[in-house]
A and B are shown apart, each in its own frame.
Chain A
Amino acid sequence: MVIDKGKRPQRSRLAVAGARAATDSIFTTSSRGDRVGNVLFRALLLLGMGVALLGLASIIIWSLVEGAPRLDGQLITEGPSSITPESAGYRTAILGTLWVIGGVVLFIVPVGVGAAIYLEEYADKTRWWNRAIEVNIQNLAAVPSIVFGILGLAFIVRGPLSLGFVAAAGSLTLSLLVLPTVILAAREAIKAVPNSTRLGSLGLGATKWQTIWHHVLPGALPGILTGLILSVSRAIGESAPLLLVGAVTFVTFDPSFLEGQYSVLPVQIYNYAGRPQEEFRVLAAAGVILMLAVLLTMNSFAIWLRNHYENKNVR
């Protein structure tokens, strides 16, 4: 139709019209199928999101319903008890988790970001060893956590470091476990900083280090923080490697970082969930809510910081 009208329309319009006519003639028969396809695809995407949300929601709702009788102050202030489970709490496990995860954050931020900066800004990617390092870091992210537990037991608890069964050993083990995630996320974030930023900075006479510190890192910060949030979330829920490096199920005294026994929330919850008495299972359900609260508290600062910088970067 458009073709009829045109005497000498602009060439581009003619081309578009031609293309449209050709498309129509080829695809009109299946246009209904296309619509169905669109709807189906959209439904699939929604289903994916629904499953993810449903899983989370059912855990939270189940824990809230089951644990409701024990969502009280004693849950935080009291230590574990096998004699009086109805008034027992997670005090020592919360402190143990704070020590362990605090140590993880302090370790993985400088090491993870440092490794990412090296790989993105300094490493010569044509060299085989740098490519080998890259592949290995990616593979490390897929190693089962129990393997890191065995590693931690052999090299951190015993062996060269010989820290013993203390919270610091748990911290280092979990750090190794989540380090690949941090490095990968930080690398992607650094890669996403436009090269023109670097060139501009260098062109104005800044050194390479000044460029990275003042321009690349601030731009990459939201992505780095996302990696950090993911890592902390994973680390806080790990129990298998910690069981190997010394997290105990029953400790009534407050733990410290470098000496003495410690427990962590997931190990304590796991232990209570398997007990035959009803009181312990209520306690375990309440513990799940408590652990989510601790996780959100620990991550909230990073989330706030990330949103802050994301907005700034957009502007």
Chain B
Amino acid sequence: MISKKWLQVAGVAGAVPFILTACGGNGDGGDGGSDGGSELSGTISIDGSSTVGPLSEVAAEMFMEENPGVQVSVAQSGTGGGFEKFCNGETDMNDASREIKDEEIAACEGNDISFESVQVANDALAIVVNPDNPLECITVDQASQIWNEGSTVSTWGDVDGLDVGDLADEDITLYGPGSSSGTFDYFTDAINGEEGVIRNDYTDIGEDDQAAVVGVEGDAGAMAYIPYSYFTEAGDAVKPLQIDGGEGCVEPSLENVQNGSYAPLGRGLFVYASDVALQEQAAVDFMNFYIENSDQITETAGFVPLTEEQKAAATEQIESLTS
């Protein structure tokens, strides 16, 4: 009797690996079948920024369609967390929404890892107001007065140094995306100096950026921040403000975003590749694929594409790493 009981218990432990093996077995068979098409094989592990992650996932997916023998995985530990692994030689590439920091460079050098940053896309936000608003340009400091945590600004006249004419007595109605949005993180970091820091009495539009466009269009005193792709589509419905980050007013044009002068609301998105990883043909091909198809990849993932010059520069950087 007793031994029978314990046989059953042993069955619990025993069943698990069998189930697992069965599942794993199926999968291996599937992989084997698709190997024939391409000679290229290998694995590429990417980690880093959660902003760039979706872009790399699209690139990886398109690349693996053409090269089924290559296994690309994408993780999103954040730019900093990713660099830690990257400079430890544990990942092949790192997605970054900012330049590598000095201490991270030191960490890489300590482990004899040389790398190159390759810009894979551009990213930008626009601060938009109603077309009837006479305002044309806003400084980062003024934007922060309006949006920062604990802000007491309630009418347009409350903002220091803003000349809005008749609108001074008008209430400012604010629209912004929810806190889970990458747009939210980016804006709060660029304008208020720290990710997640923002006043809490604005209209939260969740992830539906189009709602901000509609809201600003119908309210003379409204203001919102939206991703680049939305305001280009909105046309005359809303008016994007020029941003003065300390070097004069700059309008959010494709050109200004791409050449980096639209600061701090425009930025480059990068992939860092290590020389060790690029000794593999698969990794080199992947990087080149990423740049060559950047138009399609950035469009699918919703970012600003690279310019021809940026593409040429990126291709050159990859070559310099591989030679």
The chain A residues found within 8 Å of chain B, CB to CB, are 80-83, 91, 95, 98-99, 102, 105-106, 109, 158, 164-165, 214, 218, 221, 243-244, 246-254, 256-257, 260-261, 271, 273-276, 281, 301-302, 305, 309
Query: With A83-B62, A98-B19, A248-B74 in contact, is A106–B24 under 8 Å at CB?
Result: no
Is B17 close to A, CB under 8 A? yes
Q: State A82–B299 Cα separation when bound (angstroms).
A: 12
Q: State A261–B61 Cα separation when bound (angstroms).
A: 15
Residues of A contacting B284 with CB < 8 Å? none
23 contacts between A and B (CB under 8 A): A81-B61, A82-B57, A82-B61, A82-B301, A95-B24, A98-B20, A99-B20, A164-B90, A218-B2, A218-B5, A250-B60, A251-B73, A252-B61, A253-B71, A254-B24, A261-B43, A261-B45, A271-B53, A276-B182, A281-B207, A301-B12, A305-B8, A305-B12
CB distance from A9 to the nearest CB of B (A): 53
Decide: B53 and A106 in contact? CB cutoff 8 A: no
Q: Which of B32-75 contact A (CB under 8 A)?
A: 43, 45, 47, 50, 53-54, 56-58, 60-62, 64, 71-75
Q: Which residue of A lies closest to B84 (CB)?
A: A153
CB distance from A281 to the nearest CB of B (A): 8
CB distance from B197 to the nearest CB of A (A): 19
Q: From the candidates A82, A95, A109, A214, name the one contacting B54 in the complex (CB within 8 A).
A: A82
Residues of A contacting B9 with CB < 8 Å? 221, 305
Q: State A281–B208 Cα separation when bound (angstroms).
A: 12
Is B77 close to A, CB under 8 A? yes
Decide: B73 and A261 in contact? CB cutoff 8 A: yes
Decide: B302 and A276 in contact? CB cutoff 8 A: yes
Decide: B90 and A250 in contact? CB cutoff 8 A: no
Residues of B contacting A247 with CB < 8 Å? 75
Decide: A254 and B45 in contact? CB cutoff 8 A: no
Q: State A159–B74 Cα separation when bound (angstroms).
A: 24
Q: From the candidates B5, B20, B43, B209, name the one contacting A276 in the complex (CB within 8 A).
A: B209
Residues of B contacting A91 with CB < 8 Å? 27
Decide: B17 and A102 in contact? CB cutoff 8 A: yes
Query: With A95-B23, A214-B2 in contact, is A249–B76 under 8 Å at CB?
Result: yes
Residues of A contacting B180 with CB < 8 Å? 273-274
Q: Residue among B6, B61, B183 with the most chain A CB within 10 A?
A: B61
Q: State A276–B302 Cα separation when bound (angstroms).
A: 10
Q: Is the interface of B mostly helix, strand, loop or mixed?
A: helix
Q: From the candidates A164, A243, A254, A261, name the one contacting B77 in the complex (CB within 8 A).
A: A243
Q: State A302–B12 Cα separation when bound (angstroms).
A: 8
Is B247 close to A, CB under 8 A? no
Is B256 close to A, CB under 8 A? no
Decide: B74 and A109 in contact? CB cutoff 8 A: no
Is B300 close to A, CB under 8 A? yes
CB distance from A46 to the nearest CB of B (A): 34
Query: With A82-B300, A83-B62, A243-B77 in contact, is A102–B20 under 8 Å at CB?
Result: yes
Q: Which residue of B lies closest to A275 (CB)?
A: B54
C-beta contact mask, B156-182 vs A, less than 8 Å → 1, else 0? 000000000000000000000000111
Q: From the candidates A249, A253, A256, A260, name the one contacting B53 in the complex (CB within 8 A).
A: A249
Decide: B74 and A249 in contact? CB cutoff 8 A: yes
Q: Which residue of B lies closest to A157 (CB)?
A: B90
Query: With A256-B24, A260-B43 in contact, is A102–B71 under 8 Å at CB?
Result: no
Residues of B contacting A250 with CB < 8 Å? 53, 56-57, 60-61, 73-75
Decide: B75 and A246 in contact? CB cutoff 8 A: yes
Q: State A218–B3 Cα separation when bound (angstroms).
A: 11
Residues of A contacting B8 with CB < 8 Å? 305
